[in-house]
Structure 1
C-alpha cells in the first residue's frame, strides 16, 4: 500500500470484437507462447474468494483494476481516466477510460464497477473500512461513478489500487451480482489476457490467451501500473507439483519460466548459460507463518497457542529448508517484516526459543493430549518448516497428526471451522507490511480462516488508517503487535526470498515477486 495511510515511498474473447471504438494493441508475433510453471496450480478462479497468491497472479492477467501500484509504491490510475474530490473530502467522483471492454465484448460500465466493489468490500479488511466510511456508492452514467462518504477516507486511492489479495478486480455486473458466498462460474475479465475455459485441463494445463481488444495505457509498464502491452500470443500454465521436475524441464528448454526454484538446484541453474535467475530482497522477500485455527481444539485455548512461540527458531527452519544465507534474513520478530517501514520488536520477548520452557508451559495449560491436526503441502518448503516444528512440538508434549496434501486441498480444508489446527504457509512481503495488509492481523474478528479475534485490534487498525504521521502509525503498529503476540493468530517461521529462473530468450521480464508477463517478449 501507499499514500498518506501507509507511506508511498516505502511500499512497495479472442478475435475481433463488434464494439465500436476499441483500439487494439499491436499484434504479437504468431504462435508465441510462454510455457510457465508457477508456484502451484490455479484452483480457485474467483478472485474475491481467497487470498491465495496464485489466484491473485491469475487475476492480474485476466482482470483489471481501477488503480494500480507502480514499482516505487505509488498508486496510479489504471482503468480510471481521472477523478475529483470535493473540498470537504466527502465526495469522490471517478471517470473510466474510453474503450474498456470485457472479454465477452461488452463495454466496461460504471455499473460494473459499482457491483464489483459492492461484492468485494465485505471480503477484504481494507474494503470493509471503505464500506464502513461510505454513505452511498453509485453509477452516475456509463463512465462515471461516485462515492459519497460519511467521513473523510484518506486511503481511497490506496484501497482501490491495493495489490494485496483479495484485489478489487472489476467484473461484469451480471457476474458481480453473484451472492458473495458463491463462486462465480464464468470467468470474464477486461484484462490483457482472457481465460480459455475450453482449453483448461485441471491438474495439467491452463491457457491464458492475449485479448486483442485490450486497450493499454500509454505509459510504460511499471510493476502493476502503466501500459500492459502484450507481446506474446498466450501463456501456458503447466502443472508440475514437483519443483525439481520443473527445474529439469527448464534446463532442457521444455519450459520458459519457473517461479520458485528449489534451493538445491540453484548452483546448476546458475551454471547454465541459457538461463537467468531473479533473486529479490527487501519488500520482495517472503514471510513464512504457521497459521492457527482459533475455533478448533487445542488452539482455541490462548495459553496453548502461546506455547508455540517458544518452539519456533527461524534460523533452524530456514537452514533445514536449505535456504542459502544470502537468500534469508536473520531472526525476525516483526509481524510487519524486517527491513521494512514498520519493522518492530514490540512484544517479541514472548518469542524466546526454549523447548524446555515450552514443555513446562504446556503442562500448566488445560491441554490433555488432543491431536493437533497439522495440514501440510506435499513437497513444499513449508512442509519442511512444518517438520521442524512438529519435532519440537512432540518434544514439548503435543500429539501431532500430520496430514499431507496439495495446496488446493489445504485451501478447501482451511475454509472449514473444524478438522484442522494449523498449517504452514508463506506470503509475499508486500502483503505483510502493515496492520492494514497483514493477512492474519487485518482479518482480526472477521470471517477469515483461522478466526482469530481480539476486539482491541480492529479499532487500532482503523486508527492506523486515519493516522496523519509516520510516527503515529509506528506507535499504533507497535501496539497492535503487542496484542498479536498474546493473541497468536500466527507464528512467523522466517523471512526469505526464493529465486525465479527463466530462459535467456525472454526479454523485459519484470523483476518482482509477482509473476507478471504482459510486457515479456520471447525470441
Structure 2
C-alpha cells in the first residue's frame, strides 16, 4: 500500500504543537482584522472557535461537490431556498414560505423574502436565484438530476420565481434543501465556472482560506435572520460567535488529544474507541453521539474495469459480510446496526427487499460466481481514506473477505480530498468506501441514485424504477415503489449498503447551544467564559 503523505505522518504531540502555534498566531491577527473592528472592539465582542474537521475540503464550491465536508463549512456562507427542520420536514429559508403548487403538480410558485442582504451589501432578488439555480442544474450532480425534470425557470416578479416541471417530481423541495451538492443561492455577479468570490446570504462570510491550515469565516454583520424559532437547520440563525476556524486535522489521534487539551472547541467524527477516554477523561469535554447519523456503503465502478460486468459485482456482494464490516468500523453495537433495509422500521420507506442478498459472506459461492463470469485474476483497486477511520477499517476487512473469495486486491490509501477528486475518473478505481447521512427522502442519498455520480450507474431498470418512484406524490404508494428500487440495487449492485451507524464527536463544555446534526453547524452557538 502507498499512502499519500499528509499531516498524518506527524505524531499527535508534534501536530498539536504546530497547530497550537498556528492558531495562536491566527488569534492574534484576528484581534486586529476580525470584522473590520479595532483591537478594543474585537476584545470586547470577540469570540472565536477552533473546529477540528477530518481533512481539507477539495474546494469551497458547494454546488460542485457532494462531499459532507464542503457542505458542512459552506452552509454557513450560503443558504438554499428551503431547508430541513428538527423533524426533517421541509421548511423555508430564503423562500418566504412553502411554495404554491398547481393541482397538476407541475408549477411551483416561490416567493422570496424581502430585505435579505448578500455579503456584498446588495439585496437578494429573483435574478440571483434564477442564475444560481441554473448554474446548480449545470454543475451539481444533484442539480443535473433535477434539470431533467424542469421545463422552465422564470421570474414572476422582483422577488418571485416559478419552476415549471415536465412531470410531477416529488423530491423537488428536498433536493433544493440539501446542504451537499447544494442549490446554494449566490450573488449573480459572483457566478463563474470556478467560483472565486464566495458571496452568499449566510450568517457567516469567508474571510480567509489557507489550504491545509484553516478556513476562517467571520460574522455577516448585515445578516437577515428568519424570525421562527430555531429547529434543526430551519428557523432563526444567529452568528453569536465572531469567528469560526475550520481546521483540517486528518490524524484522528490529534483530534482526540486536541479536544482533551481544549485546543479544539469541536472535534468531528472520532473513533468509537475514544469514547471511554472522553466519557471519563475530562469534565471540560462533552462527548456527542448523534443517533441514526448515516450509513457507510461501497461504491462499485459500473463504467470501467473489472466490475463493469454485473455478474462480477454480484460476486463481490456475495463475498461481503456486512456485519463483520460494521463491527470493524464501529466496534460496539452501541454505535451500529447491521441490517439490509435502507430506512429503519416505522419509517415510510422501510422495505425488506434484497434481504437475502445482504451479509452473505460466502467466499466459495462468490469464487464460483466470479469464475463463471470469466474473472481472470485482475486486481480490484479499493480506494479509501484514513481521514474517516471507519472507512479505512471497513476497507481492511473487505480486502480480506475479497481475497478469501479468490479476488486479487490492491488497497489505495489516499487523503479524502484526493479520493473525492479521483473517484470522478472511472479509470482509476474499482471500489471505494464512503458514507452518507440518513435522510427522510430516498432521492437525497446516496448520489448514485441520481445522474452523473461516481460509479456511473445508468441502466434501463434504474430509469424505469426511479421514474415511477419520483412521479408518485402519495407517500404510501411511494413506499411500495421504493421497495422496487431497493431490490434493483441488490440485483445490479452499483453500491453495497453496509449498515447504519451513530456518529461520535466531541465539543468543549464552553461551546454551548450546539445541536447534534449530520452536517455540524455553529450558528446559534456561543462560547461561555
CA distance in 2, matches of 1:342, 1:36: 35
User: How high is the TM-score relative to the length of structure 2?
Assistant: 0.86
Structure 1 outlier segments of 4+, above 6 Å: none
Please say if 1:278 is aligned against 2:288. yes
Out of 114, 126, 138, the position equivalent to 2:154 is 138
Please say if 1:190 is aligned against 2:201. yes
- What SS does the aligned partner of 1:279 have? strand
Q: CA deviation at 1:442?
A: 2.1
Change in Cα spacing, 1:295 to 1:384, as seen in structure 2 (3 Å) is same
CA distance in 1, matches of 2:320, 2:171: 36
Q: CA deviation at 1:52?
A: 0.5
CA distance in 2, matches of 1:155, 1:393: 36
How is 1:350-499 mapped onto 2 (pairs within 5 angstroms)? 350-351=357-358, 352-378=360-386, 380-430=389-439, 434-443=441-450, 446-499=451-504
Q: CA deviation at 1:456?
A: 1.9
Residue 248 of structure 1 aligns with which residue? 257
Bigger helix fraction: 2
Change in Cα spacing, 1:457 to 1:512, as seen in structure 2 (3 Å) is same
CA distance in 1, matches of 2:473, 2:209: 48
User: How high is the TM-score relative to the length of structure 1?
Assistant: 0.87
CA distance in 2, matches of 1:216, 1:28: 25
Q: CA deviation at 1:72?
A: 1.3
CA distance in 2, matches of 1:382, 1:422: 12
Please say if 1:112 is aligned against 2:117. no
Change in Cα spacing, 1:129 to 1:391, as seen in structure 2 (3 Å) is closer
Change in Cα spacing, 1:137 to 1:77, as seen in structure 2 (3 Å) is same
CA distance in 2, matches of 1:203, 1:184: 19
Please say if residues 155 and 161 of structure 2, whose CA atoms lie closer than 8 Å, have aligned partners that are also in contact. Answer: yes
Q: CA deviation at 1:295?
A: 1.6
How is 1:77-156 mapped onto 2 (pairs within 5 angstroms)? 77-82=92-97, 83-86=99-102, 89-123=105-139, 127-128=143-144, 130-153=146-169, 155-156=171-172
Q: CA deviation at 1:107?
A: 2.1
* Structure 1 residues without counterparts, runs of 5 or longer: 1-12, 17-26
How is 1:198-209 mapped onto 2 (pairs within 5 angstroms)? 199-209=208-218
- Over residues 133-180 of structure 1, what are the superposed CA-to-partner deviations in whole Å (9 max), with x where a residue is unaligned? 4332122343222224445555543343x225212110121333x3xx
Change in Cα spacing, 1:171 to 1:137, as seen in structure 2 (3 Å) is same
Out of 333, 337, 348, the position equivalent to 2:340 is 333
* Structure 2 residues without counterparts, runs of 5 or longer: 1-32, 37-41
How is 1:189-268 mapped onto 2 (pairs within 5 angstroms)? 189-196=200-207, 199-268=208-277
Out of 503, 506, 519, the position equivalent to 2:508 is 503
Aligned residues: 487
Please say if residues 272 and 335 of structure 2, whose CA atoms lie closer than 8 Å, have aligned partners that are also in contact. Answer: no
CA distance in 2, matches of 1:95, 1:241: 42
- Over residues 395-427 of structure 1, what are the superposed CA-to-partner deviations in whole Å (9 max), with x where a residue is unaligned? 211111211110000011111121211111111
Q: CA deviation at 1:367?
A: 1.2
Change in Cα spacing, 1:451 to 1:157, as seen in structure 2 (3 Å) is closer
Change in Cα spacing, 1:130 to 1:250, as seen in structure 2 (3 Å) is closer
